[in-house]
Structure 1
Amino acid sequence: MILDIYKDSLEYSAKDWKTLVILGVICLFNFLLLPVFLITGYNYRVIDTAVHGIINGRDPLPDFEDIIGIFVDGVKVVIVQVVYLLVPFIIFMIFVIVAGIVDNVASAGIMIIGALLTFVALIVSCLMSQMGLCHMAYNEGAFSKAFAVSEIKEVIDEIGWFECIITYLGLIIITIVISFVVTALIGLIFTALGISGFALGANAGGIFALGMFINALVSMFIVGPYLSIFNSRSIGLLYTMQI
């Protein structure tokens, strides 16, 4: 089932290259902060489509017609993520404060325990956050459903904590591998061109610089948006495993 989720999501993310370019253009202006909400909002729409669809179905990619709605969804997504991430942060700060009160020997032990508990809390919070977004989407965007902890826990219990964690680890690995392979491939091509150009008396430095520029463009306008859709689709389909 997990492999089916990956297969579906990899194919789904490549359905419309125009969408990838549009997302890339939006990413280009992320330094203005507001476009960040459009990206998170669009990814939420991908999740929404997935939780109401089926694996290996013919779900379409969301369109950009409702920009205001996408922006609002993005704001809601960021709020949900921040609230859930506050939990491990608060746990860590409690241990930091306690460690600062006791002596040095006890302080080291407290910080080790605090770091371990914070790590566990971070994993649980991230999982609850993502499933919370799926739960909100499944319940027609009801914001309160993103914080219905008992309901979200039941969803994860139904799917299986092990399956959820393994799926997320797989997403991380696939994301890293695709990013590395694309970057390395473009790098190798322009390295070969640069060496060949140098042998022919051309400006090898310019060729290498062009390769770096193209690598950056491909990462921003194709690979980055592709992987964001892939991850969002996978998360949404993971949620459907309990339905």
Structure 2
Amino acid sequence: MDYIRYLNESFDYTKEALWGRWVRWLLLLIASILFPFIYGYSLRVMSGAKPAPEPQGWIGLFIDGIKLIIVSLVYTIPVFLLAAVSFLAYLVPVSSTTTPGTGPAPGLGPEFGIVVVLAILVLFVVAIIVCSILATFGSVRLARTGRLGEAFRFGTLFAHIGRVGWLNVFIAFLVLIVVITVVELILMLIPIIGPIALFLLSPAFVIFASRYIALVYESAPAPA
């Protein structure tokens, strides 16, 4: 997977979308404050629109933004459930070693508790990664089809991600996160001007990330 090409194409796409188009930039800044609207615009970029679409049809943008929020929330449910199970699993070995008058139960000492916590921590991290990738591909599929149910066609999503390659997708999204985080940190380190620039560039970050995600999605044919 050509990550550098995706970054360059996303940058060019973002530049074309905003540079010299100050009214569009201003409208997207307003949409960033009213976040469902910017989510809806992100969905339109992920739909594969080229060049970048105009921020119009604001009711549609709002509805699309709500749909994207719903997808994100649904895919966080397994993570929250695993977090709850992790907490309960941690309490079991601890309580079993501290029952008054009985002494520690065989095989359930502090070492066992540490192993359980570490194992669940690994599962927790894996769950976050898997759910995040599924949510992202589900969001793009929603953008491409316009149907909310398509975001939860798990068999289709797994098949598509398998075609792209789970490791390729993970690295691609990690590259995106690192690039955006580094730029944001640099801006935050600039007194006064930095935070202002960060706000003014928020539409650029949204467009850049959405286009990059769309390119990763397109790197292998999506199942019907």
Normalised to the residue count of structure 2, the TM-score between the two structures is: 0.83
Whole-angstrom distance in 2 between the partners of 1:64 and 1:6 = 23
Aligned to 2:157: 152
Tell me by how many angstroms 1:62 deviates.
1.7
Aligned to 1:220: 199
1:111-138 deviation digits (Å, cap 9, x = unpaired)? 2211110101000100000001112222
RMSD: 1.7
2:192 maps to 1:241: no
Question: Between Structure 1 and Structure 2, how many residues are aligned?
Answer: 201
Residue from 119, 124, 127 that aligns with 2:133: 127
Matches within 5 A, 1:86-101: 86-101=77-92
Q: Which amino acid aligns with 2:87?
A: V
Residue from 144, 166, 169 that aligns with 1:161: 166
Residue from 135, 142, 167 that aligns with 1:136: 142
Matches within 5 A, 1:187-206: 187=190
Q: Percent identity?
A: 25
Deviates more, 1:3-12 or 1:122-131: 3-12
Matched residue SS, 2:204: helix
Matched residue SS, 1:241: coil
Aligned to 2:45: 46
Unaligned runs of 5+ in 2: 98-109
User: Aligned pair in 2 of structure 1 residues 215, 46: CA closer, same or farther (>3 Å)?
Assistant: same
Tell me by how many angstroms 1:109 deviates.
2.8
2:76 maps to 1:70: no
Q: Which amino acid aligns with 2:6?
A: I
Tell me by how many angstroms 1:215 deviates.
2.2
Whole-angstrom distance in 2 between the partners of 1:156 and 1:134 = 12
Normalised to the residue count of structure 1, the TM-score between the two structures is: 0.77
Note if contact 2:90-2:116 (Cα within 8 Å) is conserved in structure 1: yes
Note if contact 2:14-2:204 (Cα within 8 Å) is conserved in structure 1: yes
Note if contact 1:48-1:134 (Cα within 8 Å) is conserved in structure 2: yes
Tell me by how many angstroms 1:177 deviates.
2.5
